[in-house]
Amino acid sequence: MLQAIYPPPTSISDPGTIRVLVVDDDDEIRELICQYLGNYAIRSVGVANGEAMQQALGEHSFDAIVLDLMLPGENGLSLCKRLRSHSCVPILMISAHGDPTERIISLEVGADDFLTKPFDIRELVARIHSVLRRTRQQPASGPQPAAAPQRLGFGDWQLHLTLRQLQDRDGTVVPLSNAEFRLLSAMLQRPRTVLDRDQLLDITRGSTVEVFDRSIDILISRLRGKLRDDPRSPRLIRTVRGEGYMLDAQIRPL
User: What domains can be seen in the chain, in order of their start residue?
Assistant: 9-136 (3.40.50.2300), 151-253 (1.10.10.10)
The pLDDT of residue 9: 36
Look at residue 167 and give its three-state secondary structure. Answer: strand
* Alpha-carbon gap, residue 204 to 96, rounded angstroms: 25
> Edge-to-edge strand order for the sheet containing 157-160?
173-174, 165-167, 157-160, 151-154, 251-253
Q: Going residue by residue through the chain (254 aa), what tens digit of pLDDT does each one get?
A: 233 333 333 344 444 589 999 999 999 999 999 999 999 999 999 999 999 999 999 898 999 999 999 999 999 999 998 888 778 899 999 999 878 888 888 887 888 889 999 999 999 999 999 888 877 654 444 444 444 568 899 999 999 988 888 999 999 999 888 788 888 988 998 899 998 887 887 776 644 444 455 678 888 999 999 999 998 899 999 999 888 999 999 999 88
The pLDDT of residue 138: 41
Under DSSP, the state recorded for 9 is G
Sign of the Cα pseudo-torsion (79, 84, 89, 94, in order)? positive
Amino acid at 218: I
The pLDDT of residue 221: 92
| pTM of the predicted protein model | 0.59
Half-sphere exposure of 95 (CA within 13 A, CB side): 20
Look at residue 131 and give its three-state secondary structure. Answer: helix
Amino acid at 141: S
